[in-house]
């Protein structure tokens, strides 16, 4: 295997996909879904090999569960592919169009990005997920999964490529880097002659590696400290429900809150209620001095915040609490503590709301709602490729449109420039 | 001077700019334009120091001319700043908005990128140009100009910062890295904690350096082989005018054509006309064997194409010529020869036109028009920050909107996720 050859093959495949009708792409997706079910036994056998190795290497239960496929999960994955068929194909639509003074009709037409490189960890469903979304948008993909899922991914990609061939689409539309070794990742990250975008799906270290080594645009995302600010004018009773939802509905994901900021004017009554609810939910509070003074009387477990606590993405049943003087102080805290993902204000004050919306560094900002909505499905995007916390190309949940670019199209009558 | 401090100061300034009204930003721009004219003598004196050094270092006339400021040029630069005032401010507009099933009003609101880093060569007007466009869009900028313009840029930035201060905007909204040494460029390229986007304005080596060293998204652009394909159905008389315009109107710029592709069915009559016109314009032709056979009888200077000629961006009065069998062969040539900037087809065949539009790798594709239109002013963008040849964030001429990002805004009535 040779990265240059893979890149060239992907590029060539991308030109074919860019010319393919939505019907052709959808038929390939349906063939892919059917093939996944038809090849169930081979895929599960390969997955069993990975699981055996994983157990021998002593991976923990959570890891093993993420690795595991069974016929039910495989059926669900196939169904997800069929759902992608039902989504609108963004390619070919015109973003805008005008006629210039000189008579040229100028428009911007949506086109596929070309070749997308994806580097990810454990979960084998990502292989199918990304391959399907890239195919739908006319992009070729080069995949590099974690070694824990080596055999499973091999089998999945074999099935995908057979489905592509049966649909008269180039097999190189979806390629997998099977060689072990970090140098293959570095090589992919610098294949800028052929690859248009890199999507890392994994932890902070993977994103750091990509940022440092890539000569290709990288979509950075998935981190950030989540904040909720309760303003003086908030409904303190309903606020408890939103705080609870944002913290405890699914503590391990990135759109939960890590820090609760409370306006000093309502700190006492609000934190009394917060302590009761958080105690019920088993949430430990980490409070600044002002909040600690109000919370230590309450039922919830609480400790004084230490250096770095307000910069910690808890991903667990822990919640930072701080009393602030007003919305400006809340914004100052957000800016100082890496708020770039999802943050919320609870308020009935129209000026505070606007101030907070415009003042946050967040990719997604909410007024009187839980931060848990930052999600492609919740936003109605139909599919989610990644959640970007950078500002270029795309920000927040990325759907199919974010897998496209545009080209300028100028049409005229033998027009020359004066 | 310390890059971390500059970055932090730029970030803080960016928060102030993001909250500033268009009126405040416009007043600062007007103050900037007035100050440039008021400080004319100091600026020209500094420029004279740079010119003296440049002459001592034996820079060529073209280089010296790009370096030179005089009161007329300074007036023009000030006027360009006033023109930016008249442009619409894209910040704050909503890209789209919908109400979700659960009642949340979800929209995407245009926001400044934050901090933009710009690395450029010779021309001092770039300093004012970029500073003004970034200020208009609420972005802080960190500038690094070529050492040939060291004193001029120092003076220009001093004037800009005084204008900012007089308009109650932070001086750190526009900062300049005055220290010599490559390590400062590398440092800026890795200041990802504070800088959101890097715009290199210069040659291929600068772009390569940025791609390799940056941990920040970089806008790559300004290169690419330009092609014009004359299809069998083209108007061969008017075709000559468009070819002439695309090649000779301004041979040294990136939106001219480097290669003329001719459908075999019309090669003989077209190339006869091309040879006459190119001879008149002093253009040397570099032809493949089929084209050479037809051209050697003509008046234009012609030689056989050698290895690499069709991969050469001439930026001079030289034109590659190749006979191809059809539009597919033309597209195959484009794909093999780095067509990513501006390309055109001359045709009266609607299917060939669509085929070419969708099949080119170009950022800008034209039907029956010169490639010379790829330009922010020509496209009516009002201003041009750069011409991107990459596919992410922005492609082709970048105007004020391309200096912005968006944030998701969700507004509801204490809504929680089920």
Mind listing the pLDDT tens digit for each residue in A97-145? 999 999 999 999 999 999 999 999 878 899 999 999 999 999 999 999 9
Mean pLDDT of all residues in B390-400: 94
Q: Which of B211, B353, B369 sits opposite A192 (nearest CB)?
A: B211
Q: What is the pLDDT of residue B374?
A: 96
How close are the terminal C-alpha atoms of chain B, in Å?
Answer: 52
Q: What is the pLDDT of residue A121?
A: 84
CB contact under 8 A, A369 and B15: no
Which residues in chain B are contacts of A241 at CB distance < 8 A?
414, 416
Per DSSP (E only), the strands in B325-372 are: 342-346, 364-369
B201-205, B246-250, B378-382: range with lowest mean pLDDT: B201-205
Dihedral of CA atoms A240, A245, A249, A250 in degrees, nearest 10, equals -120
Q: What is the pLDDT of residue A35?
A: 97
Question: Under a CB-based contact definition with an 8 Å cutoff, are residues B118 and B140 in contact?
Answer: no
Q: Mean pLDDT, chain B, as a whole number?
A: 95
CB contact under 8 A, B196 and A391: yes
Distances (CA, A) of A2 to A150, B79, B330: 18, 54, 28
Burial level of B368, CB count in 10 A (0-12/13-18/19+)? buried
Cα separation, B311 vs B117, in Å, equals 31
Mind listing the pLDDT tens digit for each residue in B301-334? 999 999 999 999 999 999 999 999 999 999 999 9
Structural domains in chain B plus CATH codes: 3-220+392-411 (3.40.605.10), 227-378 (3.40.309.10)
Cα separation, A310 vs A258, in Å, equals 8
pLDDT surpassing 80 at residue B108: yes
CB contact under 8 A, A415 and B390: no
How far away is chain B from the Cα of A46, in angstroms, using its nearest Cα?
A: 36
| Residue-by-residue DSSP string for A337-394 | TT--SEEEEE-S-HHHHHHHHHH---SEEEEEE-GGG-STTTTT-S--SEEE-SSSS-
Q: What is the pLDDT of residue A76?
A: 95
How far away is chain B from the Cα of A321, in angstroms, using its nearest Cα?
A: 20
Residue A1 pLDDT grade (very low, low, confident, very high; cuts 50, 70, 90): confident
CB contact under 8 A, B366 and A245: no
pLDDT surpassing 80 at residue B222: no
Extract long-range pairs of B278-286: CB within 8 Å, 24+ residues apart: B278/B244, B278/B247, B278/B319, B281/B244, B281/B247, B281/B248, B281/B317, B282/B317, B283/B247, B283/B248, B283/B317, B283/B318, B283/B319, B284/B317, B284/B318, B284/B319, B285/B318, B285/B319, B285/B320, B285/B321, B286/B318, B286/B319, B286/B320, B286/B321
Residue B176 pLDDT grade (very low, low, confident, very high; cuts 50, 70, 90): very high
Q: What is the pLDDT of residue B170?
A: 98
∠A142-A144-A150 over CA atoms, to 5°?
130
Which residues in chain A are contacts of B196 at CB distance < 8 A?
390-392
Helix (H, G, I), strand (E, B) or coil at A85: helix
Q: Which of B238, B380, B392 sits opposite A405 (nearest CB)?
A: B392
Backbone angles phi, psi at B18, to 5 degrees: -65, -25
Mind listing the pLDDT tens digit for each residue in A267-320? 999 999 999 999 999 999 999 999 999 999 999 999 999 999 999 999 999 999
CB contact under 8 A, A368 and B417: no
CB contact under 8 A, A364 and B408: yes
The verdict on B311 touching A (C-beta cutoff 8 Å) is: no
pLDDT surpassing 80 at residue A174: yes
∠B252-B250-B322 over CA atoms, to 5°?
80
Mean pLDDT of all residues in B147-163: 95
Mind listing the pLDDT tens digit for each residue in B355-374? 999 999 999 999 999 999 99
| ipTM score assigned to the predicted complex | 0.94
Q: What's CA B223's distance to the chain center, in Å?
A: 10
- Among B224, B373, B378, the strongest candidate for a mutation testing the A interface, having the largest count of A CBs within 10 A, is B373
How far away is chain A from the Cα of B323, in angstroms, using its nearest Cα?
A: 21
Q: What is the pLDDT of residue A180?
A: 87
Q: What is the pLDDT of residue B121?
A: 84
- Among B255, B256, B358, the strongest candidate for a mutation testing the A interface, having the largest count of A CBs within 10 A, is B358
Cα separation, B95 vs B408, in Å, equals 10
């Amino acid at each position: 295997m040779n990265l240059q050859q893979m890149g060239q093959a992907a590029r060539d495949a991308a030109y074919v996909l860019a010319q393919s009708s939505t019907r052709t792409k959808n038929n390939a997706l349906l063939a892919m879904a059917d093939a996944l079910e038809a090849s169930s036994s081979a895929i599960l056998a390969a997955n069993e090999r990975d699981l055996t190795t994983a157990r021998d290497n002593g991976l923990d239960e959570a890891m093993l569960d993420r690795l595991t496929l069974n016929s039910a999960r495989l059926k669900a994955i196939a169904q997800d592919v069929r759902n992608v068929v039902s989504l609108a194909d963004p390619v070919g639509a015109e973003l805008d169009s005008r006629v210039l003074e000189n008579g040229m009709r100028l428009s911007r037409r949506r086109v596929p990005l070309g070749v997308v490189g994806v580097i990810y960890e454990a979960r084998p469903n990502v292989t199918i997920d990304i391959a399907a979304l890239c195919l739908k948008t006319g992009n070729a993909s080069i995949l590099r999964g974690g070694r824990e899922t080596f055999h499973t991914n091999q089998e999945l990609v074999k099935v995908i490529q057979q489905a592509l061939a049966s649909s008269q689409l180039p097999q190189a539309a979806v390629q997998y880097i099977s060689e072990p070794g970090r140098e293959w990742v570095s090589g992919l990250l610098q294949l800028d002659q052929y690859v248009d975008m890199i999507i890392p799906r994994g932890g902070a270290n993977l994103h750091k590696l990509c940022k440092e080594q890539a000569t290709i645009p990288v979509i950075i995302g998935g981190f950030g400290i989540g904040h909720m600010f309760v303003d003086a004018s908030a409904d303190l009773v309903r606020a408890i429900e939103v705080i609870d939802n944002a913290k405890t509905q699914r503590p391990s994901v990135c759109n939960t809150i890590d820090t609760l900021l409370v306006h000093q004017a309502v700190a006492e009554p609000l934190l009394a209620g917060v302590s009761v609810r958080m105690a019920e939910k088993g949430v430990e509070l980490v409070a600044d001095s002002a909040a600690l003074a109000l919370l230590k009387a309450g039922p919830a477990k609480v400790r004084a915040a230490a250096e770095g606590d307000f910069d910690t993405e808890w991903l667990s049943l822990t919640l930072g609490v701080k009393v602030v003087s007003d919305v400006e102080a809340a914004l100052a805290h957000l800016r100082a503590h890496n708020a770039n993902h999802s943050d919320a204000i609870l308020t009935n004050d129209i000026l505070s709301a606007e101030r907070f919306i415009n003042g946050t560094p967040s990719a997604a900002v909410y007024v009187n709602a839980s931060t848990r909505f930052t999600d492609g499905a919740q936003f109605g995007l139909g599919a989610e490729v990644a959640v970007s916390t950078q500002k270029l190309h795309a920000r927040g949940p990325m759907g199919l449109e974010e897998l496209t670019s545009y080209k300028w199209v100028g049409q005229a009558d033998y027009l020359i420039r004066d």
